[in-house]
């Protein structure tokens, strides 16, 4: 999640202030400025951060699968000794 947040903040800050000022200058509200001008220009950076964050999470999941975690357990474990799976494995599958 920090990777996504950092990339999103950087891409939002990279939008030139002149775009915001021009939209506000022609009468657009702040919400319209954000949704129609700022977000479309920042979307490639936001999507890049999202893809990198998901790749990072999946990259951390692969070693857990290789070490020998149970790949998929449908039932909720009833005790400490019952087989269980971890959340990244559930997302990966």
Give the pLDDT confidence score for residue 25 in this predicted structure. Answer: 96
Distance, in Å, from the CA atom of 11 to the CA atom of 14, rounded to the nearest integer, reads: 5
- Tokens matching residue 53: 């964050």
Is 77 within 8 Å of 83 (Cβ atoms)? yes
Give the pLDDT confidence score for residue 24 in this predicted structure. Answer: 96
pTM of the model: 0.68
Phi, psi (deg, nearest 5) at residue 21 = -65, -40
**Residue 5: how many other CB atoms lie within 10 Å:** 11
Q: Quote the number of domains for the chain.
A: 1
Give the pLDDT confidence score for residue 58 in this predicted structure. Answer: 79
Torsion of CA 61, 93, 43, 48, to 10 degrees: 30
Distance, in Å, from the CA atom of 40 to the CA atom of 43, rounded to the nearest integer, reads: 5
List, for the chain, all residue ranges whose pLDDT scores fall below the cut of 50.
none
Domain hosting residue 81, numbered range = 2-92
Give the pLDDT confidence score for residue 74 in this predicted structure. Answer: 67
């Amino acid at each position: 999640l920090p990777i996504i947040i950092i990339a999103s903040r950087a891409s939002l800050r990279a939008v030139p202030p002149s775009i915001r000022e021009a939209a506000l200058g022609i009468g657009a509200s702040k919400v319209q400025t954000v949704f129609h001008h700022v977000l479309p220009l920042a979307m490639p950076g936001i999507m890049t951060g999202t893809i990198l964050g998901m790749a990072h999470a999946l990259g951390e999941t692969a070693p857990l699968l290789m070490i020998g975690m149970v790949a998929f357990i449908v039932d909720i474990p009833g005790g400490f000794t019952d087989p269980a799976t971890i959340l990244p494995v559930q997302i990966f599958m």
